[in-house]
Structure 1
């Protein structure tokens, strides 16, 4: 069944009314249920047009905290959930939409991009890896943040190969921030990326501790204050410090001996 103009208006009204916006936390449960309803083949053109229209709603029409911001949020999750069933052309468009959302000025829309990527990975991690391979070269700092946030997702990390892949890519991104210099280090994209890395590595390392602590030890040897803050923050997370106390303490001791 395809939505007519009146159906679309009613659906938009319902989602915005139930969005819990303005507020600190949108209705993630509703967004997830809505997205799961499109995890199948055979999406009509009307549904596709509605979702892609929502995904592209600009901040001027759906600013941060505005209930209408819930529409692009839902659209990003939904398009991610539908990705494995989409045509090649639609997949290309979904990836482009999520990439644009990752660079959005609205933090909630950026989060939706990461969650949309997670939806792709939950259906087929290989498809997610293909998308990220296209993003990786020349990725902006905010796109790198979306990559890291998407991969720091426990359901994806249950597979050992996926966890090793996540650590490898997150490690490359962390090491690359040493090349960010000057005013760019004080701008929001750099701050947002670092904040994401300050928790993400510990999630990945908890899933694959051997490779995880090897990465954290290597990063701890870098002479960069932002990288050292990232390492210390991850080692301070209880998911690592409680279960892997000796490994955590050894890396921290090495950092202290350098300073």
Structure 2
């Protein structure tokens, strides 16, 4: 099937004219592909890129803030209107490195709120917003995560690892080593029993994120990465073992690093 051609939208004109906001809202919802299994990522990419510059007007800022304020009660999962906060959070991430200090604080709060949203797509938007920040300046992203890491809940931890498991962010070794260190800290908090009395759904969301993200980090820095996986493969916590085994099964590791994977899998045989 041929790819659908991206619709031509004069975003800058519509965003900066309040009289056209209704028209913009209607078009975004109509083209959202919601309800449905896959939101219109191409359109959200295009929309977010409109804000990757330092010249955001007060009107444009007001639009984004108003969209991020749309709650689940107003637009639940799979409602076409859910596409508006999804796009707004992504756009705020694209603008973050250009924003002034006061606006950055607002964006930080919006992204952190999105991390904890009950709607999975809005949570995904928070991770994608962090990716945009990291692509502009990994130091900025690291500062944010370092600020939030202490005391972060499971949904916030999931946003961190999902954001960092993004190949464009891992081109420098120091970036990947940071990701491995952060992931190891999260794994340690689980291994210590910290998740046992928490919300089961929130832990499930984090676990799903860890079950693939570690393999992305390890594939970029296999020497340090496999040392980490081997350490956690010796855990007696079933949750940790599930995460490790899932990552070892990812083709990015199992095909290129078959010997290292096989060696770590021996640890699982010892447990039986």
User: What TM-score, normalized to structure 1?
Assistant: 0.97
Q: CA offset at residue 132 of structure 1?
A: 0.3
1:113 equivalent in structure 2? 126
Q: 1:5-154 maps to which residues of 2 (within 5 A)?
A: 5-154=18-167
2:198 equivalent in structure 1? 184
Q: List per-residue Cα deviations over 1:69-89 (Å, max 9, x = no partner).
A: 000110111000000000011
Q: List per-residue Cα deviations over 1:179-214 (Å, max 9, x = no partner).
A: 3254426x1000110111000100111111111111
d(CA) in 2 for partners of 1:183 and 1:168? 25
d(CA) in 2 for partners of 1:188 and 1:80? 26
Gaps of 5+ in 2: 1-12
Q: Is the 8 A contact 2:18 2:59 kept in 1?
A: no
d(CA) in 1 for partners of 2:187 and 2:21? 43
Q: 1:136-175 maps to which residues of 2 (within 5 A)?
A: 136-175=149-188
Q: Is the 8 A contact 2:219 2:225 kept in 1?
A: yes
Runs of 4+ off more than 4 Å: none
Q: CA offset at residue 246 of structure 1?
A: 0.6
1:250 equivalent in structure 2? 263
2:235 equivalent in structure 1? 222
Question: Would you say how many aligned residue pairs link Structure 1 and Structure 2?
Answer: 258
SS of the residue 2:34 aligns to: coil
d(CA) in 2 for partners of 1:99 and 1:150? 13
User: What TM-score, normalized to structure 2?
Assistant: 0.92
